[in-house]
Amino acid sequence: MRRAVSLWLVLAWVSSAAAQTDPGNRYRMGHSAHGAAFDEGPRTRPARMDGIGVTHFPITTKNPEVQMWFDQGHTLLHSYWFYEAERSFRWCLKLEPDNAMAYWGLARASMNRERAQQFMKKALALKDTVSPRERAYLEAWALQEGTGDADRDKFRKALEQIVLDYPDDIEAKVLAGDPSLTLASGNGRIGSDLLLRQVLATSPDHPGAHHYRVHLWDGPQGAQALDSCRRYGDLVPRIGHALHMPGHVYAGLGMWHEAAISLDSATRAEIRYMGEQLVFPYNTWNYAHNRNYLSYVQEQLGLRDEATRGARELLAVPLDPTLNDAERYSPHWQGVAALTRALIKFERWDEILAEGSIPWGTSMRDKSHRAWAESLAHFGKGDADQGRKRAADHAALKAEFDKPELSWLKSTYETHAAELDARVALSRGDVFKGLSRMAEAAELELKLRDEYDDPPGYPYILYTELARAYLLQQSPQLAIRALDRALSVVPNDPFALSVLAQAQASAGAKDKASEAWARLQFVWSDAPAGIPAFDRARALGLSAAPVDRSPARQRNYVHTRLDQHGPAIWTANPAPALDAQDATGKTVTLEEFRGKNVLLVFYLGGTCVHCLTQLKTIGDQKDEFGRLDTVLLAVSTDRPEVNAKSQDGFPFRLLSDPSLANTKRFKSYDDFEDIAIHSTVLIDRHGRIHWARQGGEPFTDVKFLQAQLRRMNERQAPSTSTASR
């Protein structure tokens, strides 16, 4: 033990001395020579991409390859694929370090405001090297540093001036139609749409023009963009967001089959991309959002099992210590939200109440949502006493949601509270209060949809639940009025159509009841048996052929093949080959460790201070890693004879990769600056990567690594999926 400790101290001293005598040490130790802004984002070179559309934005350059990569980055930005766009712009700078427009591209691609400002500062410093047209773009984007309406208005006017000064510049018109840039500043939808239609008249396949039209009309008037919805996905089949966005419009129009085709295709494209690039669901913002939205649309189609499977898939993906706590966008919370929503919709009350069925956490959000869901489940099972008890637990949390830090959740809490108040009152026979509070809750729920319906967090339109309450009180006409409101908000909502058929039948309007039943049959054409809302409508004994009341013809989701876009289910991907030498010169591969987990650390050698700190921090927990059936491996460029001198003092098996071949295969290399970077990788017993982190700093959160290993041990999923459609 003393020998091991002394070796740690000697190595730390040597590293510290090297750091003090070498002013370039920080650069060599995994950090960018260009500053912190370059420590974030992609670190590996781009590849030429197909299936992303084609655009051309001419820039000042002496190198045709720079123009090619700039066009790729610019094209990707038109589909909001910021991360991959940044990769292309970085390669432009690799080839031409003082290219002003490449810095402009980086500023547009960065979702971190501070980084974007650093990139724009560099671009502006180089503005005299570009044409007047390019300089106009740089100076326009510099106006985005402000955040007020006046600043945005200045930017919009500068962009409009470029359109006027350069009437043949198609890209200026397209960017002027991008709602993320201009709509908030007062550029109306009609004007933007006319501008984009002008572009499409001469460039009918411009991906940006179609994309921005989809965003412009996303909502009740989505039919205005159905032509672009159909064309955009065909033009850009490799970009998840491009396949996803038409799904918004289709869902808003009640075109559930088309929405599912769009969102399922997008999910598959995201999974395919993650497998190809060795990135994970927590790195890919659109994946979790898309999978949640797909579950919502599958619910609307009555595909109960598919919807709940997708929700549980989100709950099974790897976590991340910094990217999993986002208020709304982490894969874990979107999985919780999707699962809760589906179980309530399909009245799976026992599953909601089963301990561990929904992986609730300890946050106030989890506590309030759990009390609400379990109260609904008890009422659904006819246990009013327990329903009232859990409603009281929910009410007891009210003071917490008055605190500023939870203000973003207050409207959701208040909507839940109003619904539970209504159900409590109705359970006690206080019909007037119950109906009044349910009507209030229904209005609050519509306001929630106005705030966020991407997808809706609520499992149903509360006006539908109000209608059900009216029916129980023998008031079918009031129920019909409530359902008209529900269906105006969510066209072709099947749960509302089910209650509408019941209400019309109760009112003696058999033809109208049959019409609602016909519409419901089309939406739920592939729904399995045992859906309570479907069974209640079927029990009416109505006779009508399925009919679609959508603004355009739809394909059938279940019968449409989508496997060309990628696999249906995310699974951990096989790790790249490991082929390194240990301290004795023996070749080591991952096959040697089949049946065990592997914690693989790529470090920067014995002269890297923070590398040694990482190895010691992890090594101090060697016994616990052993209990988790995990082997510790550390790879650097140090040669076997160097590692042999210190192997006895390390809890890791030290491996040598002098050619950097392994380092590059595991994405632990910065291609833009030709330096090795830090990488920490978790590999399961079947040789599949479950989690990885690369960057300028080594990863030292040992508790997280151990927690993730426990999850890996619990979730030994099949290595491949045969799911396809």
Token pair listed for 349: 């009350």
The pLDDT of residue 282 is: 85
Q: Express each pLDDT in 478-512 by its tens digit.
A: 999 999 999 999 999 999 999 999 999 999 999 99
Mapped onto helix, strand or coil, the DSSP state of residue 33 is coil
Task: Report whether pLDDT(150) > 90.
Answer: no
Task: Report whether pLDDT(213) > 70.
Answer: yes
Task: Report whether pLDDT(19) > 50.
Answer: no
Number of H helices, E strands in the chain: 33, 10
CB atoms within 10 A of CB 554: 17
Buried b (16+ CB within 10 A) or exposed e, 430-442: eeeebbebbbbbb
**Sheet strand arrangement including 688-695:** 573-574, 688-695, 678-683, 597-602, 630-636, 653-656, 580-582, 587-588
The pLDDT of residue 153 is: 83
- Paired residues of 260 in beta bridges: none
Handedness of CA 692, 696, 698, 704 (dihedral sign): negative
Mapped onto helix, strand or coil, the DSSP state of residue 148 is coil
Q: Which pLDDT band holds residue 610 (cuts at 50, 70, 90)? A: confident
Q: Express each pLDDT in 315-345 by its tens digit.
A: 999 988 876 655 557 888 999 999 999 999 9
- Paired residues of 588 in beta bridges: 580
**Mean pLDDT score, 94-117:** 94
Q: Which amino acid would we find at residue 27? A: Y
Dihedral-angle region of residue 566 (phi above 0 means left; psi in -120 to 50 means alpha; beta otherwise): left
Residue 407 and residue 365 in contact, taking contact as beta carbons nearer than 8 Å: no
The pLDDT of residue 184 is: 44
**Mean pLDDT score, 37-54:** 90
Looking at per-residue pLDDT, the higher value among 407 and 720 belongs to 407
- Closest residue by Cα to residue 214 from 253, 185, 272: 253
DSSP assignment string, 574-599: EPPP--EEETTS-EE-GGGGTTSEEE
- Distance from CA of residue 475 to its chain's centroid? 43
Q: Quote the CA–CA distance of 474 and 472 in Å, as a whole number.
A: 5
Backbone angles phi, psi at 55, to 5 degrees: -140, 165
Q: Which pLDDT band holds residue 251 (cuts at 50, 70, 90)? A: very high
DSSP assignment string, 266-316: HHHHHHHHHHHHT--GGG-HHHHHHHHHHHHHHHHTT-HHHHHHHHHHHHH
Give, as one character, the DSSP assignment of residue 456: B
Q: Express each pLDDT in 301-312 by its tens digit.
A: 999 999 999 999
CA 583 to each of CA 603, 642, 650, 659: distance values in angstroms, whole numbers, following the listed order: 15, 8, 11, 16
The pLDDT of residue 40 is: 81
Least confident of 126-140, 269-283, 655-669: 269-283
- Distance from CA of residue 241 to its chain's centroid? 10
Return the residue matching tokens 């539970």: 420
Return the residue matching tokens 């099949």: 718
The pLDDT of residue 145 is: 64
Mapped onto helix, strand or coil, the DSSP state of residue 600 is strand
Q: Which pLDDT band holds residue 28 (cuts at 50, 70, 90)? A: low
DSSP assignment string, 97-110: TT-HHHHHHHHHH-
Instruction: Determine if the peptide bond prior to 455 is cis (ω within 30°).
Output: yes
Tell me the percentage of the chain whose pLDDT exceeds 90: 80
Dihedral-angle region of residue 186 (phi above 0 means left; psi in -120 to 50 means alpha; beta otherwise): left
Q: What is the C-alpha end-to-end distance of the chain, expressed in Å?
A: 58
Residue 626 and residue 594 in contact, taking contact as beta carbons nearer than 8 Å: no
- Paired residues of 581 in beta bridges: 587, 656
The pLDDT of residue 721 is: 40
DSSP assignment string, 637-703: S--HHHHHTTGGG-SSEEEE-TT-HHHHHTT-EETTTTEE-EEEEEE-TTSEEEEEEEESS----HH
Least confident of 190-194, 245-249, 281-285, 419-423: 281-285
CA 557 to each of CA 247, 266, 566: distance values in angstroms, whole numbers, following the listed order: 12, 14, 16
The pLDDT of residue 148 is: 55
Task: Report whether pLDDT(579) > 70.
Answer: yes
Q: Which amino acid would we find at residue 632? A: L
The pLDDT of residue 607 is: 85
Residue 395 and residue 417 in contact, taking contact as beta carbons nearer than 8 Å: yes
**Mean pLDDT score, 388-411:** 96
- Rounded to the nearest integer, the mean pLDDT of the chain is 91
Q: Quote the CA–CA distance of 34 and 122 in Å, as a whole number.
A: 11
Q: Express each pLDDT in 522-578 by its tens digit.
A: 999 999 999 999 999 999 999 999 999 999 999 999 999 999 999 999 999 999 999
The pLDDT of residue 210 is: 98
Task: Report whether pLDDT(693) > 70.
Answer: yes
Task: Say what the pTM is.
Answer: 0.91
Domains of the chain by start residue, with CATH: 39-131 (1.25.40.10), 146-216 (no CATH), 221-317+499-570 (no CATH), 573-714 (3.40.30.10)
Give, as one character, the DSSP assignment of residue 239: -
CB atoms within 10 A of CB 16: 13
The pLDDT of residue 695 is: 87
Q: Quote the CA–CA distance of 692 and 318 in Å, as a whole number.
A: 10
Q: Quote the CA–CA distance of 404 and 427 in Å, as a whole number.
A: 34
CB atoms within 10 A of CB 490: 22
Dihedral-angle region of residue 673 (phi above 0 means left; psi in -120 to 50 means alpha; beta otherwise): alpha
Task: Report whether pLDDT(10) > 70.
Answer: no
